[in-house]
Structure formats: C-alpha cells, structure tokens
Amino acid sequence: MTPHIAEDGEITLGFKRTTAFLVDAKTGTVIRTYGLDNATSTFGAQHVGKKALLLVKDAGLVNSAAAADLGTVRHLVYVTRTDYVLQHHSPNSSEVLWNVAFADIEAEFRCQGFSSSLTGLSSSVDEDADDIEFPCQMRTAVLRIRDPSLLNFDRLALAHLGGGPRFLPVPDHVLSLGPVQRSPLALPAHKDRPILALPASEAVDSRSIGLLSGNVGIINGTTLPSEIIAKSLTWPIIASILSIMGSVFYSYLTFRKQRKLNKPVEELKAETGVSKKKKSKRSGNNKNSPNSERRQKYLQLGNDARDVFDGSVEGRKIGKLIVSNREIAKGSNGTVVLEGIYDGRLVAVKRLVQTHHDVALKEIQNLIASDQHPNIVRWFGVEYDQDFVYLALERCICSLNDFIFVHSESFQNRAVSQDVHSKYSPESTVQLYSVLECNKNVDLWKANGQPSPQLLRLMRDVVQGLVHLHELGIIHRDLKPQNVLIINEKSYRAKLSDMGISKRLVGDMSSLTHNITGYGSSGWQAPEQLLQGRQTRAVDLFGLGCVLFFCFTGGKHPYGDNIERDVNIVNDRKDLFLVENIPEAVDLFSCLLDSNPEKRPKALEVLNHPLFWTPEKRLLFLQDMSDRVELEDRENESEILEALESIGTLALNGKWDEKMEAAFINNIGRYRRYKYDSVRDLLRVIRNKSHHYRELPQEIKELLGSYPEGFENYFSCRFPKLLIEVYKVMCRCCKEEEFFRKYTESSEI
C-alpha cells in the first residue's frame, strides 16, 4: 500500500525484500542462495573439525570449501527470509518520524527422490544411527522478529540434529535503521502456523533457531542435545502413525460402503449406457462445440460458487462434492436439498439419510436410464458419509409449484399483505420473491386468462418427460408440481425430478403388484393408489391431469383444498369449472382424471392432444379434415360425414353465418353457395379462405386478422368447440389412416 501520503502531508514509504537458502539438512551446508534477480550462487563451507560454518562479512562471502553437490543430497531444508521496512517522514523536512521493520523466516523440509505428501513419511536413506524420519514436506514458521535493532545481527544459526549450529548469511540488502523513537507494530497472528515474536525491548545480537521436525525452538546461543531432540520427536511420530492407521481403517470402511452402493449403479450403467467409443465419437473434443462452451460456463460458475462457499456460506467437501449449508428445499423422511458443486459444476445436492439407501439407489438407477432426455433432471454423481447419501443433481431455478405460484394473481394480490409471510417460512418467502424478481418478465397467461404459448410449452415439457419414462417402462408414481423443476437456458424448460418411489416394469409387465409400498403424495394420487389397487402407467396420467390443471388455473386443484382432496378423488368429485371456457382443456382433463384407469389416454396421446397445438397446426388440421370429407356423398351414408354433421349442434350452436360479419358473408357468397348449418361447409370456408388469404380484399384481411394467429382466432372465438369436436370425429373414424397419423403419433408440435 506504500507509498502513502496522509492528509497532513506526511508520507510513509516501505519495501519488502526476500531471500531463500537451500540447505543440506544432514551437514548444515548452504548449497545455494536465491536473490531477487533469480540468479543462483553456490556457496562453499569452511570445515572446522566436524562442524561446517559459513562466515559472513560486510565485504562478501568467504568460500573455504568446495560446493556441495545437490544431486547427492537426500534431505533438504528450504529457508526463506522476508524483510519488511516502513519509514514515516515529516512533510516539512527529511526527518524520519518513526520506522518499523521486521523479518519473517520460514523453513520447509523436503526429501529428494521421494514423493512429497503432507501426511507421508520419508524412509531413511542410509544406515546412519543419527538419521531420523521426518515428514517429507512440512512448512513451518521459524521466527518472526519485529524490533528493527534485531535486523542488524550478523548471523542466524540452524541447530543441526545431533551437531552444532549452522549459520546462514544475513542478506546484504537489509537496511540499518537510524536511532529513532520507536513504537513497534504488533504483528497479526498467522492462521496456519505459530509465530514466535520477540518483544521490542529485548536486545539480542544473535539467535540460534532450531528446526525440530516442524517444532520451533529458540535457543540462546546454544545447541539442543540429540537426546532432547529425539524425545521431542517421539510423540509427534507416534501421533502421526496412529493418525495414518486411523485414516487407513476409515478409508477401508468407506470403500466397502461405496462399493456396495456403486456396484448396482455400475451394472445399470453397463446395461443402459452408451459405449465409450460411441460416446466419445458423438460428443467429441471440439473446443468450439456447444458442449465445450457449456462446460466452460459450468466451470466458471463452479469457480464463482467456490468463492461464495469459501466466503459467506459454510459447507464441506465430500469426495468430488462440495456441499453448502444453504437449503433449497425439503422433502419427506428427512430429505433435504442443498446447494453444492460437483466436479466444477453447480448442482443441487439431494441429501437422504442412510436408512433410505434403497430409495437413493432406486432413484440413481432410474435416472441413469432416463436422464439423457431434455425433460428429465440430470444426475451427475453420488457421494456419502456415515449418516447421509448425497445425490448431485442438475441445478434448476425453482419448482413448477413456485414458478406458477409467484406469477399467479393470488400471489401478486397477497404480496403486499401478510398472507404470504404467514403461510411460508421467512426463507421460503425470500426464495419466492427471488424467483419473482428474476423472472418478472414472464407471462404465463393471456389477458383473457388462457395459458400463454410459454406456459403451454412448459406443460408440454412435462408430458414429454412422462412419455420418455413410460417408453422405458418406468412409472413415476409421484407426479406433482413440487417434483417438476424449471431451468432457464435461453428459454424456460420443465424437467421431471424425484424418482425416489418410481418403479420399473420388468419384461412385458403392464402393471405393478397390489399393496406395493410408496404411495406418492397426498392430494396427487390416483384413486387406485389410494385404494391400494393395481397400478399401471395410468397412475401417472391421473397425476399429470392434476398438474396440468394446476398450471392452467394458476395454482388451483380439480379436487378442491388439501383437506378434502383424497376423499374427493376416491369419490370422483372433480370440478372443472375454471377451465370450462377452454373446450380442449375440458376434454383432456376429463379423460386424464377419469376414475377408470382403462379410459385414461396414454402419455403419447396427451402429447398430441389439440390443447398443445399451435394456431398453424390447428388450421392445418381443419383444412385436412375438410379435404377428407369434401368428396363424401350424403346419399351413400358416409360414416365420417354423418359423424361430422352430427356434431353441428355442439360445434356451431346454431347457423354459422349468424356469427360472422355481413361483409365476410358477402365475400364468400361471390364464389359459391353454402349451407349455414353444415359443419362440412364451414370447414370448406376455412380451407378456401386460408388457401387464398393473400388474394382477399384488404377489408376482409383486417376483419380476419393476421395469418395464422389472427385468422385462427377469428374462427375459434366464434366456434370454440369446433376444433375439439372435429378432432373427436377424426379419432373415431379415421385415426388409423396414414394421412392423419401425424396428428396422433408425432412428437412434434
């Protein structure tokens, strides 16, 4: 931070200088000194008897022995010295008002030819009785001096194990500070290692610093006897050995549990996964691919998340998983969802108690089989400790339940009142407001209350996920808004989650056995689940009907409030009043919520229901039906024509010309005559005007609106039941015809 100029003009200057010494731990010889220019110089050692001394003078270093060969040294000590100096000057003169200086000295022990480890022990490299085993890599603070006068000493001594002192040279760049009145600064304690700081009042000319396997000792000009050193090393070595033995035993138990959990997972991966060769060929290593960009994005998010966890959020690391204490959601039986990071990727961590190990395994198995689908939550990995199993799942912004709730009119009305705060916990309320703030530009319903295209896409995502599960023979059995999650990657997408009680049909099984365990959530179960009857894929279709109704109505349930839902489900008392103005919704929900499982549609049939069709597809279907019945003759008793005309009362509700403007009727009357009570003739009008829209007069175009949205809306507003009634005729009479399979078997919109 220096130089620093104060408001009164006083200026503080400072510098930091570093020096490193490479020392042979066995002989005490300084092999090399590293200076600021990164150049190395080799020092010799003057031998006096069995003790090697380095003599330091102001003029320079005196060499009296050959340089040590680094390649023959097996035990090294790296000693680093950092000198700090601050000087505070008066603004009116060059007078130094005060100065502070201190030196920070550290040492690190290394074993040449051995892999360094924080916990590993080096082996003895010879048969010398004086050799003692040290940790191969240990960094420790040796001495920190804060009195400027102590920086003028001429030598530092390293106490050799069993030998005399070894002296290190004082760097020649250390300043000699003037005799000013001092107020030495207190040094902050280092969080990772001990600090030995001498009081400023002590006057010391030289110090010997003992390096005792990481234990720090200050010796007043003397050397520690080898017996004391050996005793001082005994307990740390014993403690290290016991620690290692405990770690090995714990790792063995952990490995056994992990293998027990992962064995069936790996078997299922082998059965359902793609071969490595095909997978690598498909994904590739292209750095510019979307997958590569997405991974880089996840890695950056992971780095950002690590910063958050290291700073404001407490958490811990379990294998590849970093689990924070920030809770996202709660489930049953002690299940909690937490924020986390798995392999550099932001994830949601589903934590289950160990007693529900089978539930976790089942969820993993079904996710492995299904999570490659874009509408199934992805599973990345599993970790566990003594108490919990941790599933790393795809991180989503919220559940469908919260997404619908925060955008519903009821939430907007209650947001300014105390109702929301009284119904939800403070944490949940904060999360709800956060979801609303991040997605405030989302429109889920039109001005007339009908679902927007965006909401219809989310609902269709749910159906697509269910189609995928049923194709794999998996019955979810717990479909509800809380188990549908929302992600936002360029656009919003819904994904099925929580496969804990899902079941997989084996072989050609069509249903599960009676009285099976795991019945799902109250208020969202099919009647056969509540009555513990035979369960087929149809149980999911019932739950799907409740979920879709929930979306349509902004959070309402077709069977009433929580307390009465199960009773109403068993007694088939549903109320579709809130969607009665949308005939396609009434038709679909009536089928999905049928008390008879056999009458409920299949998931693929729901996916192709007109409720999810775009305006363009709705118009195309009506045109195709018009073409299909165009040449049918009434006198030959055409079945499809009779069926089509029989819906006239429901579809037209009178003569259709009465619901159109005179200008439009006059326009269509110029080319041919129509029967205004005929469904076939109305379809003919829609087909002809659709084909010749560009040729219509501007007045008629403005009347009909833009094509296809406005055009389709013109007829659907006047004949709201026309599309669904014609669709029913198609399903009864020509569903199997090749021409209409695109409306019943296609997964496209």
Catalytic residues: 478
Provide the strand spans (E) within 655-725.
none
In angstroms, the CA 576 to CA 574 distance is: 7
Q: Pinpoint the alpha helices (H) of 571-638.
A: 583-592, 603-607, 615-629
Q: Give the residue among 6, 5, 180 at the shortest CA–CA distance from 96.
A: 180
How many alpha carbons fall within 13 Å on the CB side of residue 264?
13
CA distance linking residue 79 with residue 140, whole number of Å? 10
Residues 682, 642 contacting (CB under 8 angstroms): no
Q: Phi, psi (5° rounding) for residue 293?
A: -65, -40
Q: Which two tokens stand for residue 303?
A: 């780095």
CA torsion, points 170, 172, 175, 176, in degrees to nearest 10?
Answer: 70
Contacts for 351-358 with beta carbons within 8 Å, 24 or more apart?
Answer: 351/323, 351/388, 351/389, 351/390, 351/391, 352/388, 352/389, 352/391, 352/500, 353/387, 353/388, 353/389, 354/384, 354/386, 354/387, 354/388, 354/389, 356/389, 356/500, 357/261, 357/389
Give 334-343's long-range contacts (Cβ < 8 A, gap of 24+).
335/500, 339/305, 339/313, 339/395, 340/315, 340/390, 340/392, 341/302, 341/305, 341/306, 341/309, 342/380, 342/381, 342/392, 343/380, 343/381
What residue type is 665 in one-letter code? I
Check if the beta carbon of residue 68 is closer than 8 Å to that of residue 27.
yes
C-alpha 704/C-alpha 505 separation (Å) is 51
Q: In the 8-state DSSP scheme, what is residue 112?
A: T
Handedness of CA 190, 191, 196, 201 (dihedral sign): positive
**Residue with the two structure tokens 């990481």:** 214
